[in-house]
């Protein structure tokens, strides 16, 4: 394949999603009532009227927010891009928007532009930055779509022209190079309206990628559901947005964290099938990132850094039906990477068509002994010797070099 503007996305493999807005103040609970769903949906799910909900802005003062610290962490974890919720369904802009005062600079005691702080931090650390923008659902604007509510009588066109298009224009002209716009569920948006959004993006920043959830078949890559991994080989570019617990926005009562090992295995599984993993953190209202998520990602980051060669720039393994119960494969050019998830003394693969010319441990490049053989006419096997100090270890990778 030729290099395209999307080449970085094909190679990225691992990114950080950040869900942060006024909903972090409620943290899953409003007037003594708890939501049993994702916390950023609390306004919709607990039927909080816009006039009530918007009062939250007066309490938003995230003195612990540290864009630089978050971007540095993402870098440390081996992530290649960040997607930040510039405006979620609640309708609140996390930047100094000129076309709606319902924004972090005008409506909060904090008064500082969050998007700009992320922009500057990403520039300092050479990190790609994309913006999540809820194009159709805007629960604050009287003409924005609501979910499972009566939307008749709304002038969606007026909302598009008053808020959606102008805000997209701001994000794409005042905040540097935007890696992608992560549009979300189109709801009633027509194909023509979605096309207008795409045209606007492309006119302002031709290299900015449009996410699958623009809908109407106009996305430039496929976005799956939370932690959903496609079962069949998918040729195009795709991404799995995913939570570490069961919510995107911060919920003080959600402690259902996946462990680092599970995340590592999911990352490798997604990569082996050709996708990117966009993992979410949901900062608290203070700006503080929940310790649990930092702890998990610190551990995931160790694997990613030690095995980066077997992760970044890898392509879908054609034979991903090749299911191992102790590991998974990724591939890059003439290298096949075996990610070992369970302790063993020898790593055996059967019927890899290509001739293997070398093997090494990815973490320190040390060459490994291997033996090839035939178990039957037309069959082949390769057995790699695991170094003794790795006999009891799991979660490391081995590279098999294949004949060109």
Q: What is the dihedral of CA 199, 205, 207, 209, to 10 degrees?
A: -60
Distance CA 161, CA 231 (A): 40
Q: Determine the interface stretch with ligand JFZ among 34-42, 44-52, 350-358, 365-373 (rule: CB under 6 A).
A: 34-42
Distance CA 288, CA 281 (A): 11
Name the minimum Å distance from CB 108 to ligand JFZ: 21
Q: Is the CB of residue 337 less than 8 Å from the CB of residue 353? A: no
Verify binding: residue 38, ligand JFZ, rule CB under 6 A. Answer: yes
User: Beta strand pairing status for 209-210 and 180-183?
Assistant: parallel
Residue from 32, 126, 206, 225 in contact with ligand JFZ (CB under 6 A): 225
Distance between the two ends of the chain, CA-based, in angstroms? 18
Residue from 54, 184, 193, 254 in contact with ligand JFZ (CB under 6 A): 184
Name the minimum Å distance from CB 250 to ligand JFZ: 12
Distance CA 138, CA 7 (A): 32
Name the minimum Å distance from CB 40 to ligand JFZ: 5
Place of tokens 């369904």: 89
Q: Report the residue number whose CB is nearest to ligand JFZ.
A: 225
Distance CA 242, CA 228 (A): 8
Contacts of 19 (CB under 8 A, 6+ apart): 40, 85, 88, 132, 248, 249, 250, 280, 281, 282
Residue from 24, 40, 300, 356 in contact with ligand JFZ (CB under 6 A): 40
Smallest CA-to-CA distance from 16 within 88, 70, 69 is with 70
Closer by beta carbon to ligand JFZ, 135 or else 271? 135
Name the minimum Å distance from CB 185 to ligand JFZ: 5
Q: Determine the interface stretch with ligand JFZ among 36-44, 48-56, 104-112, 257-265 (rule: CB under 6 A).
A: 36-44
Verify binding: residue 28, ligand JFZ, rule CB under 6 A. Answer: no
Closer by beta carbon to ligand JFZ, 257 or else 312? 257
Verify binding: residue 381, ligand JFZ, rule CB under 6 A. Answer: no
Closer by beta carbon to ligand JFZ, 249 or else 274? 249
Verify binding: residue 282, ligand JFZ, rule CB under 6 A. Answer: no
Binding site for ligand JFZ (CB under 6 A): 38, 40-41, 184-185, 225-226, 241, 248
């Amino acid at each position: 394949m030729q290099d395209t503007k999307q080449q970085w996305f094909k190679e990225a493999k691992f990114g950080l999603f950040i869900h942060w807005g006024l909903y972090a103040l409620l943290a899953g609970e409003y007037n003594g009532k708890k939501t049993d769903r994702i916390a950023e949906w609390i306004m919709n799910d607990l039927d909080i009227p816009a006039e009530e909900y918007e009062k939250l802005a007066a309490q938003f003062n995230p003195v612990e927010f540290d864009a630089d610290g978050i971007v540095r962490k993402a870098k440390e974890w081996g992530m290649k891009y960040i997607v930040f919720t510039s405006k979620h369904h609640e309708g609140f802009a996390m930047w100094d928007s000129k076309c709606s005062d319902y924004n972090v600079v005008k409506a909060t005691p904090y008064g500082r532009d969050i998007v700009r702080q992320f922009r500057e931090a990403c520039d300092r650390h050479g990190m790609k930055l994309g913006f999540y923008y809820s194009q159709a659902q805007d629960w604050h604007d009287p003409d924005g779509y609501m979910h499972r509510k009566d939307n008749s009588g709304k002038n969606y066109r007026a909302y598009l022209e008053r808020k959606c298009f102008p805000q997209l224009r701001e994000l794409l002209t005042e905040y540097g190079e935007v890696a992608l716009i992560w549009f979300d569920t189109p709801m009633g948006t027509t194909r023509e309206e979605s096309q207008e959004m795409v045209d606007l993006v492309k006119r302002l920043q031709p290299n900015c990628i449009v996410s699958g959830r623009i809908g109407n078949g106009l996305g430039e890559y496929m976005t799956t559901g939370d932690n959903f991994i496609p079962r069949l080989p998918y040729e195009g570019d795709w991404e799995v947005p995913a939570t570490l617990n069961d919510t995107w926005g911060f919920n003080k009562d959600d402690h259902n964290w996946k462990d680092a090992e599970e995340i590592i295995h999911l990352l490798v599984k997604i990569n082996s099938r050709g996708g990117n993993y966009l993992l979410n953190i949901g900062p608290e209202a203070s700006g503080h990132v929940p310790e649990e998520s930092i702890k998990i990602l610190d551990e995931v980051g160790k694997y990613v850094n030690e095995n980066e060669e077997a992760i970044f720039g890898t392509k879908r393994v054609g034979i991903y039906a090749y299911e191992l119960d102790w590991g998974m494969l990724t591939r890059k050019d003439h290298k096949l990477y075996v990610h070992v998830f369970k302790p063993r003394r020898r790593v055996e693969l059967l019927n890899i068509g290509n001739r293997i010319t070398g093997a090494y441990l990815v973490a320190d490049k040390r060459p490994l002994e291997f033996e090839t053989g035939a178990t039957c006419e037309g069959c082949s096997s390769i057995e790699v010797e695991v170094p003794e100090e790795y006999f009891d270890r799991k979660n490391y990778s081995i590279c098999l070099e294949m004949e060109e």
